[in-house]
Amino acid sequence: MFKHILLATDGSAASEHAANMAVGLARTHQAKLTVVFVVDPYPYMGIGEANPMGFDAYMSAAQAQAAAAHSHVSDLCNQGGAVVEMQARMLENVGAASGIVQTAKTEGADLIMVGSHGRSGIARLMLGSVAGRVVSESTVPVLVVR
């Protein structure tokens, strides 16, 4: 049924649960898996003097976190039976939801999988929901894993 699944991950426990499900679904359908990690924009641009060392440290930490998240999903793809074909993507300078949706379009994914932190009430209103924005912006099916 699915030929290409896009998994959005941030390395959190919620996205790890989504990763397990995405790999299992990709294995079942013999689908290709694209794993996307979106780096949040650097939070201090435009505030006073830009510190290039701070930006470099921020990007270095983000790249390390992306590499760890991609490595974890790659390990899952190579365990337990048939190997799942996986490609890793790291996006910068874009909002998480729009980056995920745009990558799904450009890569030709027919399903997007995202984890949900399960926030409710005021926390959800204040923090927003990447999963919710992906659902509202996407033209392909989105599976939100909780």
Place of tokens 């976190």: 65
Residues 72-98 have a mean pLDDT of 93
What pTM does this model have? 0.87
Q: For residue 118, is pLDDT > 70?
A: no
Question: In the predicted model, what is the mean pLDDT of residues 19-33?
Answer: 96
pLDDT in tens, 38-83: 998 877 665 545 666 788 888 899 999 999 999 999 999 999 778 9
DSSP state of 45: T
| Coil, strand or helix at 30 | coil
Where in the sequence is the domain holding 41, given as residue range(s)?
4-145
pLDDT at 121 over 80: no
Per-residue pLDDT at 127: 47
Rounded to the nearest 10 degrees, the angle between the axes of helix 130-137 and helix 96-107 is 40
- Smallest Cα–Cα separation from 134: which of 18, 16, 20? 18
Q: Which residues contact 48 (CB under 8 A, 6 or more apart)?
A: none
Task: State what percent of residues in the chain have pLDDT above 90.
Answer: 65
User: How far apart, in whole angstroms, are the C-alpha atoms of residue 50 and residue 36?
Assistant: 28
**Number of structural domains, the chain?**
1
Q: What CATH number should be reported for the domain holding residue 13?
A: 3.40.50.620
More confident residue, 45 or 117: 117
Strand runs labelled E in 40-141 = 86-91, 111-115
